[in-house]
């Protein structure tokens, strides 16, 4: 690899590590001067829906940003090296890495180079080269720069598997204060376009063949930048709009972002409560059918009166609890209001949100495992989606005994306080909030302060109250997600890049903790 390209890759791979909307792990394999050294090239690992680990090249097209978001290392007013890939350079690097078996896919993001459309055109050019010229059929996840025109977004969606538009901050106030050039409308409009286009694609017969198919008599969103609209304006069936060259024709079966869309929120740079964040996530899942909302613990990279001090450690504990709450939303049937009611603005430091909900709702327990519905089983702390399913299956053959529960995968150190097995209760303490709280590891009821963190002992901090940081299996049983290590922790990752949320989109749902623009401006 040319040294110039290698230097760009080093700088732009490093700059991309702050974006966690593609799961990634810390990669520290160093083989200086030897074949196979990929540590500094921005290669990250992610997990597919079936649990397979894949490597992605995670890189920015450019870090030369025209915007000045106060929390960002690439902001215009920051120092540091500025580098920009030529589209062909990056396509060549990607395909060469792929041929050498370093990577199986690409995660492409970018700072705003000149303007959103200018950046998007370069990204599209690179992705088009990969798909059309090199015949690359691997996984591609592309960022959408807020403000990108609908036509360009459509083109990019047709050559990528997954798209993501970062919401960045949980409220419009914070967005205005910390990222003044970013507008809520510019963020929610592309989210809506992605949702709409996917919906249209699913509605049409032979999805994936949209450039050839225009549904007779069906007027799909004329003038709104939707795929059908763009195809129409480009001359209808048989001719795809291309910003790069009219002569370019796709020779593969097209689908618009078949792996859906994700987004990312920065946690700890602004003063929103966990309640606001969880409500916002719920609204994003329901309103835009997000596959994932990622939470990125803010790493102080800039000083200023509106930001936490440079000495503030990244709020990894808070991020971890938010992933657990997110898991409850997506897989356990909880609502944001159940996880954090009005009088509880923040998640607790010591206990995971599912345990906290159980302690708040003791009248619901104990649950009889041989009679409860699957939904009821999922409410028991220590019972995960897999163990609930296994209990349901086992019950068809014979009653589930207490000794079976551990083999089934139930985490008994939590679950035994909240269930009965054939009528017998196995918690050996009074069934009251205070003793239960103590037995489950909770101290005096304490919430995580907005900028406080639990620094893992390995990083020199106090012992975290989270027993399962880095223990993905236990977290899942607890209704928890995991902490992407890319931000700072380097811990193991079980976030599923290709996995999906389970909250169905509800077009009429306005969400309750969201930007009012999420509902109104974004639906224009
Ligand atoms: S637009 Fe993106 S890259 Fe540019 S300063 Fe803002 S967050 Fe950073």
Residue 5: how many other CB atoms lie within 10 Å: 16
Percentage, residues of the chain above pLDDT 70: 68
- The reply to whether ligand 1 has any atom less than 6 angstroms from the CB of 264 is no
Which residue(s) pair with 425 in the sheet? 420
- Tell me, in angstroms, the distance from the centre of ligand 1 to residue 235's CA: 36
Cβ distance 85 to 91 under 8 Å? no
On the CB side of 17, how many CA atoms lie within 13 Å of its CA? 22
**CA nearest ligand 1 atom 3, residue:** 111
Find the range with the poorest average confidence among 353-357, 368-372, 380-384, 469-473.
Answer: 469-473
Tell me the pLDDT of the chain averaged across its residues: 77
Cβ distance 502 to 330 under 8 Å? yes
**pLDDT above 90 (res 52):** no
- For the stretch 443-487, pLDDT in tens is 555 545 444 444 333 333 333 333 232 333 333 333 333 333 333
**pLDDT above 50 (res 129):** yes
Q: Which helix (H) or strand (E) holds 271?
A: none
Q: Which of 133, 95, 130 lies closest to 248 in space, CA to CA?
A: 133
- For the stretch 312-324, pLDDT in tens is 899 999 999 999 9
Q: Which residue has the higher pLDDT, 302 or 120?
A: 120
Rounded Cα gap, residues 250 and 252, in angstroms: 6
- The reply to whether ligand 1 has any atom less than 6 angstroms from the CB of 75 is yes
| Ligand 1, pocket-test mutation among 60, 64, 65, most atoms within 8 A of CB | 65
**pLDDT above 80 (res 243):** no
**pLDDT above 60 (res 213):** no
Q: Which of 183, 195, 114 lies closest to 146 in space, CA to CA?
A: 183
Nearby residues of 69 by Cβ (< 8 Å), 6 or more positions away: 75, 168, 178, 179, 181, 182
- For the stretch 274-296, pLDDT in tens is 999 999 999 999 999 999 999 99
- Tell me, in angstroms, the distance from the centre of ligand 1 to residue 323's CA: 24
Q: Is 138 left (phi over 0), alpha (psi -120 to 50) or beta?
A: beta
- Tell me, in angstroms, the distance from the centre of ligand 1 to residue 353's CA: 32
Q: Which DSSP state fits 21? A: S
What's the token pair of residue 80? 């540091």
**CA nearest ligand 1 atom 6, residue:** 69
Residue 273 burial by Cβ neighbours in a 10 Å radius (0-12, 13-18, 19+)? middle
Dmax (CA) of the chain: 76
Distances (CA, A) of 87 to 84, 105, 108, 159, 338: 9, 16, 11, 14, 47
- Tell me, in angstroms, the distance from the centre of ligand 1 to residue 66's CA: 8
- For the stretch 30-51, pLDDT in tens is 555 555 555 555 677 776 666 7
- The reply to whether ligand 1 has any atom less than 6 angstroms from the CB of 61 is no
Nearby residues of 410 by Cβ (< 8 Å), 6 or more positions away: 382, 383, 387, 391, 477
Find the range with the poorest average confidence among 25-34, 200-209, 346-355.
Answer: 25-34
- The reply to whether ligand 1 has any atom less than 6 angstroms from the CB of 166 is no
**pLDDT above 60 (res 266):** yes
* Residue 518 pLDDT class (50, 70, 90 cuts): low
Which residue(s) pair with 262 in the sheet? 164, 292
What's the token pair of residue 466? 């989270």
Nearby residues of 496 by Cβ (< 8 Å), 6 or more positions away: 23, 46, 47, 48, 49, 292
What's the token pair of residue 215? 């549904």
| Ligand 1, pocket-test mutation among 61, 118, 179, most atoms within 8 A of CB | 179
Q: What is the pLDDT of residue 31?
A: 52
The ligand 1 atom nearest the CA atom of 110: 3
**pLDDT above 70 (res 162):** yes
Q: Which of 206, 211, 201 lies closest to 250 in space, CA to CA?
A: 211
Rounded Cα gap, residues 43 and 17, in angstroms: 10
Cβ distance 402 to 421 under 8 Å? yes
Find the range with the poorest average confidence among 3-12, 200-209, 221-230, 291-300.
Answer: 221-230
Q: Which residue has the higher pLDDT, 417 or 223?
A: 417
- Tell me, in angstroms, the distance from the centre of ligand 1 to residue 282's CA: 25
Which residue(s) pair with 169 in the sheet? none
Percentage, residues of the chain above pLDDT 90: 56
The pTM of this model reads 0.76
- The reply to whether ligand 1 has any atom less than 6 angstroms from the CB of 73 is no
Residue identified by tokens 């893992």 is 456
- The reply to whether ligand 1 has any atom less than 6 angstroms from the CB of 74 is yes
**CA nearest ligand 1 atom 2, residue:** 111
- For the stretch 494-516, pLDDT in tens is 333 434 444 544 433 334 445 65
3-state secondary structure of 59: strand
Mean pLDDT of 196-221: 56
Nearby residues of 478 by Cβ (< 8 Å), 6 or more positions away: 324, 352, 354, 355, 381, 382, 384, 411, 414, 468
- The reply to whether ligand 1 has any atom less than 6 angstroms from the CB of 336 is no
**pLDDT above 90 (res 237):** no
**pLDDT above 90 (res 144):** yes
Q: What is the pLDDT of residue 244?
A: 36
Which residue(s) pair with 164 in the sheet? 143, 262
Mean pLDDT of 406-418: 95
3-state secondary structure of 283: helix
Q: What is the pLDDT of residue 56?
A: 87
Nearby residues of 390 by Cβ (< 8 Å), 6 or more positions away: 408, 409
Q: Which of 211, 310, 304 lies closest to 253 in space, CA to CA?
A: 211
């Amino acid at each position: 690899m040319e040294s110039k390209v290698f230097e760009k890759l080093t700088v732009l791979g490093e700059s991309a590590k702050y974006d966690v909307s593609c799961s990634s792990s810390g990669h520290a394999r160093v083989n200086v001067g030897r074949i196979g050294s990929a540590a500094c090239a921005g290669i990250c690992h992610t997990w597919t829906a079936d649990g397979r680990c894949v490597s992605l090249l995670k890189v920015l097209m450019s870090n030369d940003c025209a915007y000045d978001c106060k929390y960002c290392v690439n902001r215009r007013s920051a120092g540091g090296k500025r580098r920009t890939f030529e589209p062909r350079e990056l396509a060549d690097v990607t395909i060469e890495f792929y041929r050498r078996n370093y990577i199986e896919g690409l995660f492409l993001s970018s700072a705003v180079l000149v303007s959103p459309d200018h950046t998007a055109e370069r990204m599209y050019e690179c992705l088009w080269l990969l798909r059309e010229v090199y015949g690359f059929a691997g996984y591609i996840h592309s960022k959408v720069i807020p403000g990108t025109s609908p036509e360009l977004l459509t083109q990019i969606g047709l050559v990528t598997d997954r798209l993501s538009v970062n919401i960045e901050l949980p409220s419009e106030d914070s967005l205005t204060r910390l990222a003044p050039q970013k507008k809520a409308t510019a963020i929610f409009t592309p989210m809506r376009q992605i949702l709409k286009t996917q919906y249209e694609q699913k509605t049409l017969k032979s999805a994936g063949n949209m450039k050839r198919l225009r549904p007779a008599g069906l007027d799909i969103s004329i003038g709104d930048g939707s795929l059908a609209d763009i195809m129409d304006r480009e001359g209808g069936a048989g001719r795809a709009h291309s910003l790069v060259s009219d002569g370019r024709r796709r020779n593969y079966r097209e689908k618009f972002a078949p792996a859906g869309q994700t987004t990312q929120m920065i946690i700890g740079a602004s003063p929103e409560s966990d309640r606001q964040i969880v409500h916002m996530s719920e609204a994003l899942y329901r309103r835009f059918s997000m596959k994932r909302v990622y939470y990125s613990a803010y790493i102080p990279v800039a000083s200023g009166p509106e930001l936490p001090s440079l000495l503030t450690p990244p709020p990894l504990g808070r991020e971890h609890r938010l992933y657990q709450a997110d898991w409850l939303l997506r897989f356990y049937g909880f609502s944001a209001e159940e996880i954090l009611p009005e009088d509880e603005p923040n998640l607790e430091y010591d206990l995971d949100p599912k345990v906290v909900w159980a302690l708040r709702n003791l009248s619901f327990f104990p649950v009889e495992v041989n009679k409860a519905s699957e939904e009821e089983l999922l409410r028991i702390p220590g019972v995960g989606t897999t163990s609930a399913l296994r209990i349901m299956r086992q019950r068809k053959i014979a009653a589930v005994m207490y000794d079976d529960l551990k083999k089934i995968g139930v985490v008994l150190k939590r679950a035994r306080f909240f269930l009965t097995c054939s009528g017998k209760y196995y918690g050996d303490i009074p069934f009251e909030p205070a003793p239960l709280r103590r037995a489950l590891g909770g101290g005096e009821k304490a919430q995580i302060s907005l900028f406080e963190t639990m620094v893992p002992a390995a990083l020199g901090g106090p012992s975290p109250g989270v027993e399962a940081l880095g223990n993905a299996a236990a977290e899942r049983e607890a209704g928890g997600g995991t902490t992407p290590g890319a931000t700072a922790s380097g811990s193991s990752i079980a976030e599923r890049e290709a996995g999906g949320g389970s909250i169905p989109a509800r077009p009429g749902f306005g969400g309750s903790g969201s930007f009012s623009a999420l509902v109104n401006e974004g639906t224009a």
